């Protein structure tokens, strides 16, 4: 059956069928090839989009801006201090106003209910640019990157996520892998295990797609992995928890030894970025001065041939462009 995503919001991969996700990936491959060939069809000419950011961003903001501009759309960027939203005007009223001006709305912030409400009240497609519990545009870019680097169909790929296994990236991966029939291991401490609610939801989908979604604290679970994935140990807004996280997550740091444990010489290392892999950031340096090494991956792994994090970063743009093109 033909896939038509016009007018749809992109709030979580759980809202999409495997064929719809496949369609967005194929469109991403196609738009990437067209960009490489210098071809633009200005598919979004005459469209206006607004980007709402309540948390900081490099990749997601720039990917939306460049992706939209390359296809001929106009972009407005609003950070948390430059609109009335939530302070002088309710979310519902703001959404109703934005829906009168814009053809699509991107939102990055805290609660998932905010993207849901924006979609409910604006009447235009809303795209989730990260919430506390999901980051679906990142997963599309990661799947595209896997298809470029791993010579297997997605449903034969094993991804191991090492670290904070109840953050937005883990949950987004669990949803994506469940939908695409992949093998996913959340590898982290019991104290940070995925919630039962999320595990139950993905197991329901896995029954249909043949996916395997597991949690493990045992490093033997990395065996035969195609992908080792990591993310910061404390997400935006959780910085006060850093000392406790360092204690809990240091055994789950991605090292060459962990990559070797996979038994796969071609295993790839992936990271949504930004990453703490050296002491060239203010945060990593300041915490180290206080006795906490917050690096979730060693510099050796990050700079090795295994790391494809910058290909992933590039693919944010191609996949976000595809999401806008598909839904507008
Ligand atoms: N990966 C990602 O979402 O990066 P930004 O926080 O820079 O947008
Ligand atoms: N878990 C991270 C992802 C950043 C892209 C955070 O929310 O800060």
Residue 17 has, within 13 A of its CA and on its CB side, a CA count of: 8
Name the strand (E) or helix (H) holding 284.
helix 282-289
Catalytically active residues are 108, 135, 138, 231, 272, 316
Note the pLDDT of residue 294.
Answer: 98
Specify the residue with its C-alpha closest to ligand 1, atom 4.
Answer: 59
- Ligand 2 atom nearest the C-alpha of 132 is 7
* Closest residue CA from atom 2 of ligand 2: 235
Distance (angstroms) between ligand 2 centre and the Cα of 57 equals 9
- In short, whether 162's Cβ falls inside 6 Å of ligand 2 is no
Q: How far apart are CA 236 and CA 246, in angstroms?
A: 15
Judge if the beta carbon of residue 169 lies within 6 A of ligand 2: yes
**DSSP-derived pairing of the beta strands 227-230 and 158-162:** parallel
Q: What share of the chain is helix, strand, coil (3-state, %, to 5)?
A: 50, 15, 35
- Distance between CA 317 and CA 65 in Å, rounded? 9
Distance 63 CA to ligand 1 centre (A): 9
C-alpha closest to that of 70 among 326, 322, 307: 322
Identify the burial level of 269 via C-beta atoms within 10 angstroms of its C-beta, where 0-12 means exposed, 13-18 middle and 19 or more buried.
Answer: buried
Residue segments in the chain with a per-residue pLDDT below the cut of 50: none
Q: Is 127 helix (H, G, I), strand (E, B) or coil?
A: strand
Q: What are the pocket residues of ligand 1 if the criterion is a CB atom closer than 6 Å to any ligand atom? A: 57-60, 130, 138, 272-274
The pLDDT of residue 40: 86
Residues 150-178 have pLDDT tens digits of 999 999 999 999 999 999 999 999 999 99
Q: Say if ligand 2 is within 6 A of residue 272 CB.
A: yes
């Amino acid at each position: 059956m033909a896939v038509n995503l016009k007018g749809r919001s992109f709030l979580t991969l759980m809202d999409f069928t495997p064929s719809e996700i496949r369609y967005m990936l194929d469109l991403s491959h196609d738009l990437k090839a067209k960009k490489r060939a210098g071809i633009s069809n200005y598919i979004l000419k005459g469209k206006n989009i607004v980007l709402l950011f309540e948390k900081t961003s490099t990749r997601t903001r720039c990917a939306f801006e460049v992706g939209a501009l390359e296809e001929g759309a106009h972009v407005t960027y609003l950070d948390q201090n430059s609109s009335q939203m939530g302070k002088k005007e309710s979310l519902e009223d703001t959404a109703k106003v934005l829906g009168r001006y814009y053809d699509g709305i991107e939102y990055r912030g805290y609660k998932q209910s905010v993207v849901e409400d924006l979609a409910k009240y604006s009447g235009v497609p809303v795209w989730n640019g990260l919430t506390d519990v999901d980051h679906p545009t990142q997963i599309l870019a990661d799947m595209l990157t896997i298809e470029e680097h791993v010579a297997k169909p997605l449903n034969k790929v094993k991804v191991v996520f090492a670290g904070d296994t109840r953050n937005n990236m883990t949950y987004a991966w669990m949803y994506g892998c469940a939908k695409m029939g992949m093998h996913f291991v959340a590898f982290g401490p019991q104290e940070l295990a995925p919630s039962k609610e999320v595990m139950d939801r993905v197991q329901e989908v896995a029954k249909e797609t043949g996916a395997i979604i597991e949690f493990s604290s045992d490093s033997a679970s990395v065996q035969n992995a195609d992908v080792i994935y990591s993310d910061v140990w404390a997400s935006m807004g959780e910085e006060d928890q850093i000392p406790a996280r360092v204690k809990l997550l240091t055994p789950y740091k991605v090292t060459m030894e962990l990559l070797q444990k996979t038994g796969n010489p071609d295993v790839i290392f992936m990271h949504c970025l930004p990453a703490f892999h050296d002491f060239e950031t203010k945060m990593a340096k300041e915490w180290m001065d206080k006795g906490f090494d917050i690096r979730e991956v060693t510099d050796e792994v990050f700079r090795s041939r295994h790391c494809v994090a910058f290909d992933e970063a590039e693919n944010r743009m191609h996949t976000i462009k595809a999401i806008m093109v598909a839904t507008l």
